[in-house]
Each structure stands twice: as structure tokens, then as C-alpha cells.
Amino acid sequence: MKRTLDNARAIVQEILEDIEKRSNAARLDGAAFDDFQARLRRVEDDVSLECLRGIPRKYMTMIRDKIGAEIIAAVEPGKLGAVFGSRDRIRQAYQKITILLEKYNHALKIAQDSLTEIDRLKFVQKEMAESQIANLQELELFEQSMRHIQWLVDIQLEPFEKAMSRIINFLNARHFEVYLFDDDKFLTTNLNTDGKIFIYNKQQEESPELPHAVDAPTFQEVQETIYEVPLTVEGRQIGHCRILCTKTPDFDRDIWIKKVDFVTPVAARIIEANQNRLLAAKVYTDDLTQLYNKRKLNEQMGRLFKQFKTGQKKLFVAMIDIDKFKSLNDTYGHPVGDQVLKKVAQLIRDGVPYAYRYGGEEFCAVFYGYEKQVVLDTMENLRRKIETTSFAIDGLEHPITVSSGIAEFEVSMHAVMDAIDRADKALYVSKEDGRNRCTYYDDIKDRYLADANRLRHRNLMLEEEVELLRQELSGIKGGKSR
């Protein structure tokens, strides 16, 4: 680091000397030159007087605007103290830069009336950039660092998942896990992602123990690199992250760790800024399938139902149920059932616009702004996709099918549940007709109403029979008592 700063100091000194040489070489004739020099001396005297007790804020602002905040950071006392020797020397360096900038500003103002001087200044500027900076490796690395800083600024303005994806790509990581302290100061797994799929509040089924806190970087390197780093914001640890990176022949551990250390502080701020989002994901996400849960369905359907009531777009709901799932669970156990649920959930998520786990083996799909035929075709394609997908678990193939019921919202409906009830009734008909099929409510509502009437009639007859039996029993009891 000191060697790089020494080189940077030498480069800066060479540039300053070259500026002075070029300025001295550009001679003006007669009184104009004398007047120009006198003005520059006055500028230097004025700046030196103002800088006797330190560099005024206006000059520091000017230096940042003209040279860049990165140069200011490079000459901070803590970084260049060993190079310049003392704070006074650093102040002198700032003062000299300020004088040069003020001279430049003054000369530029005078040069507005002279095309020759403007061309000369542009030529000097171009010559400086091309001859003193372009071919210096240290400054190229410095420019790269500045691009990284700009990149860090940019990702903080990105949506959360896009920002995290860019961080993962920057680190060439295979996986990124986030552990945050909850209100009771226990660590919980709040995020698990490869940059493409984001899993919130993942449960560690294979390890019931609570994750341990990491307050210092730890490095493991076997077949892949695992690096755990504390997430700290303004001296306060909010948790830690675990970064997994596949080792490649050209993998440089030291450079990679520097990249991690470079990006982690900003990642911590992004994660903290989106902590409410992570906590909300716990409330609205089903742990097993990572689909939105029934609570999220109710909230979103409430909003969509209000929008639907304006009459702008159509709204459909489909209830989906895995066929004979209870038998599968009872025969092969819950671990196999859970694997089936997760795989079916993934297929549903990929196949419909909005997917939810309604409860147990039942799911819900919502279509807003789609025509009826598109909805029916989509659900039929999903049914076929699940039917033809292999569900091989522990070497055993499990044939899986689903049944579904579909219903359209109507303006006359007063509540979301009206359409969901209709979809449930259509689902019941799919089951009754042999399973592994999709049923649209409007196609079976007459049949359903007829069945309902038959059931009501049968219930009345049963009630009458029960009443007769009750009367007969009462009579028998009365006879015995006499």
C-alpha cells in the first residue's frame, strides 16, 4: 500500500511540475504578459492568505468538483501521513493544489476572450491526460477502484433482489446466505439465494440447531470456498453472511477476499435497508414451498377484487389439489410428501401468474387481466406438465397428478370468497369425475345445483326418518315404563 501511495505521490509531483513548466513556456509579449503574471501572483497571494489557518471549505469543495472526491480520499492524513510526514505538509499540498486550480480558473476566465488561449489550455489539458496519466498502471488501478465505487453507489439504488444478484455476480459466488438477528437476538436464516432464485426464511430441516453468530471473518477451503463475514452497519452487527464460491484453476484467494471485504459494507447497508422486506417475507411466505401463503392471498385478492370491480379487467381463480396425497403421505412418510409438495409448488409457480399455497396439499392460482380461454389452456397445460414430470425420490418413482377447479369473478359478487367457493365446488367435481382434470365452474353449475337439490331432498328424508325413529323409541320407552 505504501509503495502504491509513494508512486501516486511521485505522479502527482510530476504533474504539478509539468504544469509549471508548460505555464512558464507559454510566453506572452510585453505588457499583456506582465499583466497576466501579476494577476496570477495576486491570485496566489490571495489564496495563500486565506489558507494560513487551514483550507477553507469553498476550496475543498472546488477541489472535489474539479479533481474528484477520490483524490481527496487518497490524500487523507490517515492514509498519506507516512508519505508527506506531517499534517502541515498535507495542508501545503492542498494549498498548492488550490492555488493551481484558482490560477487555472482565473486563466480560463481571461481566456474566454482569446481563442488562442482557449486552444492552448485545451492542448495543455489533453497533453497532461495523454502523457502523464494514460500509461500509468497505478492510476489505471485507481480508475478501476473508482468504477467500483460508482458501482457500489449504483447498486444501492437498485431494487433489493437485483442489487443482491449484482453482488453475487461481482464475487463470482455460487451461493449467498444471510443470517440476521431477530428481536430476541437469535440468528435466523433470512435469505438464501444463488442470484436467480431468492428463498426467504429458509428452514434448516437437516440441522435443528440454531446457527451460530460470526463476529469475525472465517475462511474454509476444501472443494469449494466458504467465507463467513459479519454484517456491520455503523459499528452495530446485524448478523452475518456466508458466501460460497466454486474453486477454479485461476482462483486467487487473496484477491477474492479483498473483493468480499470491498463489497460487504455496502451489502450490509442494503440488507438492513430491506430488513422489513425480509421480515415481511416470513409473514407472507410458506416455509416449505416458498410460495406466498393464504394470508398473502387474502391481501392481494382484496386489492385485485377492488380493481376488478372497476370493470377494467377480468379476474379468475383456480383451486388446485394434489390427487391422493394423503395416501402418499401415509404410505411413504412426510419427507417424501414434502418433496412432492415442493416440486409441485415449483411447477405451479412457473406455470401461472400468481401462485399460493392455500393449505395442506391445496394451492391457489390467480389470473388478472386474462381471457377465459387463456386461463383454461394455462391450467390444462399445468395439469399435463405435472402429470408428465418425474417425481423420483430416493430411487422410487411416484406418479403425481392434480385436479383443479376454475371460477370467474362476477361484478355481482360481494366478497372474494364467493369466487373461491365456486372454484372449490368445481374442484370437488374434478375429484368426483375421476381426478387428474380441470373443471370450469360455469360448465357444471347446473349439475352442481341439481346435486345440491338432491342432497337437500335426501337430507329432508333422512330428517323425517330420524324423527320417526325418535318417536318410535319414545313409544317403546313409554310402553316399558307402564
Instruction: Report pLDDT for 156.
Output: 78
Distances in Å between the alpha carbon of 237 and those of 120, 128, 226, 271? 55, 46, 20, 12
Residue 230, strand partner residues:
240
Q: How many other C-beta atoms lie within 10 A of the C-beta of residue 47?
A: 20
Cα separation, 402 vs 365, whole angstroms: 13
Sign of the dihedral through C-alpha 326, 331, 334, 336: negative
Cα separation, 11 vs 228, whole angstroms: 38
Q: What is the pLDDT of residues 149-180, one digit of tens each?
A: 777 778 777 787 888 888 888 888 888 888 87
> Side chain identity at 184, as an amino acid letter?
D
Percent of the chain with pLDDT over 70: 68
DSSP three-state, residue 473: helix
C-alpha cell at 240: 452475518
Over 90: is that where the pLDDT of 430 sits?
Answer: yes
Superfamily of domain 286-448: Reverse transcriptase/Diguanylate cyclase domain (3.30.70.270)
DSSP three-state, residue 240: strand
Q: What is the pLDDT of residues 276-324, one digit of tens each?
A: 666 666 677 888 898 988 888 888 888 888 888 777 788 999 999 999 9
More confident residue, 227 or 471: 227
> Side chain identity at 386, as an amino acid letter?
I
Residue ranges of the chain that CATH labels 3.30.70.270: 286-448
Cα separation, 29 vs 33, whole angstroms: 5
Contacts of 152 (CB under 8 A, 6+ apart): 263, 266
Residue ranges of the chain that CATH labels 3.30.450.40: 172-283
More confident residue, 399 or 178: 399
Instruction: Report pLDDT for 210.
Output: 44
pLDDT-derived band at 185 (thresholds 50, 70, 90) equals low
> Is 291:355 a contact under the CB 8 Å cutoff?
yes
Instruction: Report pLDDT for 391.
Output: 93
Over 80: is that where the pLDDT of 128 sits?
Answer: no
Average pLDDT of the chain is: 76
More confident residue, 89 or 128: 89
Instruction: Report pLDDT for 208.
Output: 40
> Side chain identity at 86, as an amino acid letter?
S
Query: Could you give the strand order of the β-sheet that contains 402-408, starting from the edge strand earlier in sequence?
Result: 354-359, 362-368, 315-322, 402-408, 438-440
- CA angle 3–91–73, rounded 5-degree value: 50
CATH 3.30.70.141, applies to 172-283: no
Least confident of 157-161, 396-400, 441-445, 455-459: 455-459
Contacts of 416 (CB under 8 A, 6+ apart): 298, 301, 302, 305
Cα separation, 407 vs 413, whole angstroms: 12
Query: Could you give the strand order of the β-sheet that contains 224-233, starting from the edge strand earlier in sequence?
Result: 198-200, 187-193, 175-181, 236-246, 224-233, 218-221
More confident residue, 361 or 219: 361
Instruction: Report pLDDT for 132.
Output: 52
pLDDT-derived band at 86 (thresholds 50, 70, 90) equals low
Instruction: Report pLDDT for 303.
Output: 80
Cα separation, 9 vs 15, whole angstroms: 10
**If you ran DSSP here, which 8-state letter would residue 285 be given?**
B
- Does pTM surpass 0.85? no
